[in-house]
Homo-oligomer: A and B are copies of this chain.
Amino acid sequence: MTDRVALLTGFEPYGGRGVNPALEVVRRLDGSEIGSVPVAGRSLPVSYRALRSRIDEILEHMNPALVISLGLWPGTPMIRLERIAINVADFEIPDNDGAVVTDESVEANGGNALKSTLPLRRIEAALLEAGIPAHVSNTAGTFLCNATMFEFLHALEDRGRATPCGFIHLPYLPSQVADLLASTRAERRLEREQRADLASMDLEVMIRAVRTAIAVGLDPRA
């Protein structure tokens, strides 16, 4: 098929951070080919209000062979292959509009949860084989990442498309942790010896991870 395309989305920076590794990976892979399939990179706003229409707009103009959305999971030491999106929005911090949602449903009539339709175990095996720390995760949280995964799965189901679709959480970039350490040392506000949540992963490793996930996801039988 000549016009197969792999859709890769990533969030803009949020939470006061100047960069989001998800968007960095999207920028680097946008326009590249994996197998012979071009990657179409799209940014997503960290706006709960705008999220649904942005997803609809993307799927209106595109019928991708695969959908992988990327987000940041601050502190994780590993690639998290999300197994399930729950129909819950419950924010610990505001989104970029300043919106804070508490214990709401993402979709009023959307059921309790939707499962990733990516071949997660094959992706996990391929990543570990490639020397990249990864695991199948049982929670995508209840912020924008989870909502995005839920909305994409829901929208594809609505349209009757059997597109493999899922969400991958990425660690911090090393430079983000370095900036955090530099600024907190300057401001004397972090008791760093106590922190176990400052893991990171090199951008090149993340890019290899996402390329691998796309390749396996596009392969009907690896």
Interface residues of chain A, those whose CB is within 8 Å of chain B, are: 15, 73-78, 83-84, 86, 88, 90-94, 100, 103, 111-115, 121, 127-136, 138-139, 141-142, 173-175, 177-179, 181-182, 185, 188-202, 204-205
Contacts and interface: CB of A to CB of B under 8 A. Distances in A.
9 contacts: A75-B191, A88-B138, A111-B112, A128-B179, A130-B178, A132-B175, A135-B181, A139-B139, A197-B197
Contact of A177 (B77, B90, B192): B77
A172 to B, nearest CB: 9
A198 B128 CA distance: 14
Kindly report how many copies of this chain are found in the complex they form together: 4
B86 A133 contact: no
A68 B77 CA distance: 27
A177 B133 contact: yes
Given A74-B191, A77-B199, A92-B191, A178 B113 contact: no
